Copies of this chain bind each other. A is one copy, B any other.
């Protein structure tokens, strides 16, 4: 590795452009109905819980942070002061394959409690897709992952290193930021409401 030939960083540039094209495709394929259902659940829930493992978990946390900025009551499953889930809450569960075991298992628990489950996945036909009340399908990941996230992690199965995994994560991240933009628009319709929510959190 002493002699590094980076050939004008062509792979780096291609990778960014590929993602730009991917996002354009994403905007075109958006299914309005499922998104409206998702927005309705988010706005009607008492609290919003975000659930995800690995890099999808980080994407979820970035979303939960913005929801809190908006004045909504949001929590990340697994963090220190995250309260118990109730039947008035909604869970946003993020998993490209829809098969990540810990995410599917906890989605099931939330469902049994009576909470609503919204799945963000690229695989509608999956454990998570099957149990969810609302499925928002994003393009990006074909391969199914077997077993739990930490399991695969422990086994060193880094097949999710492939561009396919990354492309779901970026889709999910940009999509969820776009959901925030839409929520700013919707809640902004009633300015007084927004203000009161802001005082609520300070």
Chain A interface residues (CB < 8 Å from chain B): 1, 4-6, 8-9, 11-17, 19-21, 23-24, 26-27, 30, 32, 35-36, 39-40, 43, 54-55, 58-59, 61-62, 64-70, 74-86, 102, 105-106, 109-110, 113, 148, 150-151, 153-158, 161, 163, 166, 169-170, 173-175, 177-182, 184-187, 189-190, 193, 198, 201-202
Given contacts A13-B178, A177-B166, contact A201 B156 (CB under 8 A): yes
Q: Can you list 27 pairs linking A and B with CB atoms under 8 Å apart? A: A1-B190, A1-B193, A4-B43, A4-B186, A5-B186, A6-B32, A9-B30, A9-B32, A9-B182, A12-B179, A15-B181, A17-B24, A62-B169, A65-B80, A66-B161, A70-B161, A76-B81, A77-B150, A79-B79, A84-B154, A84-B155, A84-B156, A84-B201, A106-B150, A106-B151, A156-B201, A170-B177
Are B182 and A12 in contact (CB-based, < 8 A)?
Answer: yes
Are A1 and B187 in contact (CB-based, < 8 A)?
Answer: yes
User: Shortest CB–CB separation between residue A49 and chain B, in angstroms?
Assistant: 8
B contact residues around A77 at 8 Å (CB):
150, 154
Are B177 and A15 in contact (CB-based, < 8 A)?
Answer: yes
The residue in chain B whose Cβ has the minimal distance to the Cβ of A72 is B81
B contact residues around A61 at 8 Å (CB):
58, 80
Are A15 and B106 in contact (CB-based, < 8 A)?
Answer: no
Partner of A68, one of B36, B58, B83: B83
